[in-house]
Structure 1
Amino acid sequence: MRHWFRSAQQRKIAALLLIFCLLPSLVPAQAASKPPQVRAASYIVMEFQSGRVLAEKDADVPRPPASMTKMMVEYIVMEKVRRGELHWEDQVTVSKHAAGVNEAQVNLVPGEKRTILELFTAMSVYSANDATVALAEKIGGSEEAFVGLMNRKARELGMTHTHYHNATGLDNHFYADPPNVLGSHVMSARDCALLARRLLKDYPEVTKIISQPRIVFRKGEPRQQRLTNWNLMLPGLRFYYPGVDGLKTGHTRNAGYCFTGTAVKNGMRLITVVMDTPAESTRFTATKQLLDYGFSQFTLKTFLSGGQVIPGYERVPVTDGVVPEIPLVTDHPVVFPVEKGQESRYTLHVDYIKRLEAPLRAGEVVGTLRILYDGKEMRNPDPIPVRVLQDVEKASWWELFFRKIGEEVSGLFS
């Protein structure tokens, strides 16, 4: 070596070159890049299928949501229609209270009759406040009663930083007679994303309505109106983004410009929320930044198909069973978003919720599946049930006696 590198300086250079060559194998794989700097008071990016949050900022801070409130009205209407308690062709007679709500509206007049579908479409596409109140009164009997239903549904869906004061998200001064409901009207970015996810998951058919760039209200009538969707990221509109098919904008002086958006690319759907951005254009450019980040940095990985035995849990011991070991499965596919190039750092782990002791029945839930990244649990709002693949009857005392003897003899020889 002294012949090859005669000076100390040459030896130092050689050592540095060696470290440089080995560096790629020593440094762990690079994680996803940092989320973009977004001009919003709070935001969140959520992958739809798993509910995993890919990025967030102040996502649990309650803020005025403006017309993003109407996502809850959409959810309740869709629920009533699915249950058969409402029908799209049902007629609604517009009240003086509903017709008197100011701001974005379709100029309903007292006594006018419109179908549930017409009002729902006007609310979802054009954010029509008069149509929203008319729907609320149809379902609840009054807007106040309907707001009570909204707040109960929010608690049921796990929205812990939400409280509704009215059905529209408007400030009180837009009402001639505002609902008499106590408390501030707020939602968090996380709650908006949770609600959007449930709406799309439970009632995917809603996208046929909310994804329309333009509609005609009272088509063919003297008071016909052509309305453009406030979601300007839809096809043919100013901030078009491929794959966007929803969801709901909002704006008041107190709320700023807000937007809950969703888009699909390469089979992966993302949900984004931006709250209190400074301008109408910003809510869309900020959403584009978040969508670009999510789609460029993450990909969906299928860990298990439905009914597949969980790797590492093919032979799980069962106490007192006629068979000593059984496999564990999940009953639906396990698909999770992972950072591109990081797939190998994810593993699966079962947390048992009961002792594996015979008798057991096929399909019985015995635990939940956790997804780990470098051994640390990933936050996943949907528990993944782990089930027994087969029936296991309790062994007789005679079988257990001889099994015990066999184990002891085997232990002596081993």
Structure 2
Amino acid sequence: MKRQYWLKLTILFIVIMSFFLFKIEKPVTANELGDDFVKEAKSAILIEVNTGKVLYEKNAHEKRSPASMTKIMAIYLVLEAIDKGQIKWDDVVTVSEHAASYGGSQVYLEPGEKMTVEDLFKCMVIASANDATVALAEHVAGSEELFVKRMNDKIKEWGLQNTVFIEPTGLAEKDEGHYSTAYDMAMIARELLRKYEKETTKYSSIYEDYIRKDTPNPFWLVNTNKLVRHVPGIDGLKTGWTSSSGYNLTATMKKDGMRLISVIMGETSSSQRNYDTVKLLNYGFSQYEAYVYRPKDYVVDEYDHILLTPRKVKVIIKEPIVFVVKKGEKPEGLTEKFTYEINRKGVSKNEVIGKLEIIQNDQVVYTVPLYVDEDCKKASIFEVLNRLLKNIFFN
């Protein structure tokens, strides 16, 4: 009995000491860095664009005044209108008295002044011009009010619960009913960059430019986001400041095939806001990497039907399936499930025919649409007969 007592005591001592002698490694979660990581920010978040994975967050769902980060939603709607052919880059917009009267950041548009959509877009994205933003809103939707309705409709479509816009520029404050969160702003920016990355960063990465260049009154546009000039790789996205909101910034950077978005809200100075933004992005790129699980144009299946031309088509994904993982790690335990349906009358290569699901631990963790690799149409009667004869005689 005495020997068993001392044996148990020895084992207990070894177990206790192991907690002090050995460090147990585990993945860092979004909260383990602590709020002090970006101490001066009232709220913050860091996400990866492709997956939406949150890499860090601090008070990310706290409602605050977004200030001119509101314009990220305006940027999306303008690019969507261009994409749908509703407006064009070279459309000439006549500035209304209402748009010209907007205060805050502006390029001093005159009532009746004519400017192209592209130049107004530059003014909005680079210089955060409120007058240009309202002029674009009126051109896209017919009125500022209808444009704001589109903004809020899109927010509902994306399922964001803590954002309401009452005007398109960000001059309005939270106590007026105009608010968002770091999380929602990151998701709005994610939607923008997933659909219109090239179009957005083409302009948001410009540090300086001119409008009215060949007139007696040229205007120098200087980007309110100084990081696009001073930090290689940062190519957007939008600053925001009012005396109530403090210094805000939604920034983005792409490196080694991975794009991150950081949102900082409520800082006391632009320099601290910029410092914390770079700190978040450096953390993300130093600790995480993009793991390509399936490449672009990956063939999921091959479909063969005698009534189609071509008879055989490949079922593919158009974009790569990418997981964000801690550096040196790989996602484990993944399985695939796909479903699709091809109309025997034919299908376009741009038409979604089904979906591929990636499953881990009995949970769907990734879903992508499926397409055929080329247009296919209903085969003619002669093509079908020819195939039948070949099957009979040359099977």
Task: With the length of structure 1 as denominator, give the TM-score of the two structures.
Answer: 0.71
Q: Cα 1:307–1:244, aligned 2, differ >3 Å: closer, same or farther? A: closer
CA distance in 1, matches of 2:236, 2:33: 22
Structure 1 position 31 matched with structure 2 position 27: yes
List per-residue Cα deviations over 1:265-302 (Å, max 9, x = no partner): 22211111111111111211111111011001101112
Q: Which residue of the partner structure matches residue 177 of structure 2?
A: 184
Instruction: Check whether the contact 2:186–2:250 (CA below 8 A) recurs between aligned residues.
Output: yes
Correspondence 1:371-410 to 2 at 5 A: 372=360, 375=361, 383-384=367-368
> How far did 1:303 drift?
2.0
Name structure 1 gaps, 5 residues minimum: 1-7, 173-181, 315-327, 355-362, 388-414
Structure 2: how far apart are the matches of 1:110 and 1:306?
49
TM superposition shift of 1:341: 3.2
- Which ranges of structure 2 fall in alignment gaps of 5 or more residues? 1-5, 302-314, 341-351, 372-395
Report how far residue 145 of structure 1 moved. Answer: 1.6
Cα distance in 2 for residues equivalent to 1:364 and 1:108:
48
Q: Counterparts of 1:349 and 1:285 in 2: how far apart (Å)?
A: 41
Pairwise CA RMSD = 3.4
Are 2:294 and 1:301 aligned?
Answer: no
Supply the distance in 1 between the matched residues of 2:166 and 2:353 (Cα, whole angstroms): 43
2:326 equivalent in structure 1: 339
Q: CA deviation at 1:156?
A: 1.7
Structure exhibiting the larger radius of gyration computed from Cα positions: 1
Distance 2:171 2:320 in 1: 41
CA deviations on 1:193-252 (whole Å, 9 max, x unpaired) are 1111111121122211111001112112122111210111012xxxx2221000000011
* Aligned counterpart in structure 2 of residue 246 of structure 1, from 232, 236, 246: 236
Query: Structure 2 counterpart of 1:220, which letter?
Result: D
Give the residue type in structure 2 aligned to 1:347. Answer: G
Matched to 1:337, the amino acid is V
* Partner AA of 2:334 in structure 1: L
Q: Which amino acid aligns with 1:288?
A: V
Residue 230 (structure 1) aligned with residue 224 (structure 2): yes
Instruction: Report the CA distance between 1:28 and its aligned residue.
Output: 5.7
> Structure 1 residue 79: deviation in Å?
0.8
SS in 1 for 2:115: strand
Other-structure match for 1:170: 171
The answer on whether the counterparts of 1:163 and 1:183 sit within 8 Å (CA) in structure 2 is: no
- The code of the aligned residue for 1:218 comes to R
Number of equivalent positions = 331
One-letter amino acid of the structure 2 residue matched with residue 336 of structure 1:
F
SS in 1 for 2:254: strand
1:60 corresponding residue in structure 2: 61
Query: What's the % identity of the aligned pairs?
Result: 40
User: Is the Cα–Cα contact under 8 Å of residues 68 and 260 in structure 1 kept in the other structure?
Assistant: yes
Question: How far apart in 2 are the matches of 1:142 and 1:332?
Answer: 37
Q: Of 312, 330, 334, which residue of structure 2 is paired with 1:348?
A: 334
Q: What amino acid is aligned across from residue 186 of structure 1 in structure 2?
A: Y
Q: Which amino acid counterpart does residue 290 of structure 1 have in structure 2? A: L
- 2:165–2:177 CA contact under 8 A, matched in 1: yes
User: What is the Cα deviation at residue 188 of structure 1?
Assistant: 1.6
Deviations 1:44-100 (A, max 9, x none): 111112221111122222211100111111111101111111011111111111111
**Partner residue in 2 for 1:206:** 200
- Among candidates 347, 368, 371, match of residue 357 of structure 2: 368
Structure 1 residues 139, 308: CA separation in 2 closer, same or farther (over 3 Å shift)? closer
Is the CA contact (8 Å cut-off) linking 1:369 and 1:385 kept in structure 2? no
Return the letter of the residue paired with 2:326.
E
Q: TM-score, normalised by structure 2?
A: 0.74
**1:88-99 alignment runs, 5 A limit:** 88-99=89-100
Q: 1:276 aligns with which of 252, 266, 290?
A: 266
Cα separation, partners in 2 of 1:81 and 1:384, compared to 1, 3 Å: closer
CA distance in 2 between counterparts of 1:273 and 1:185 reads 18
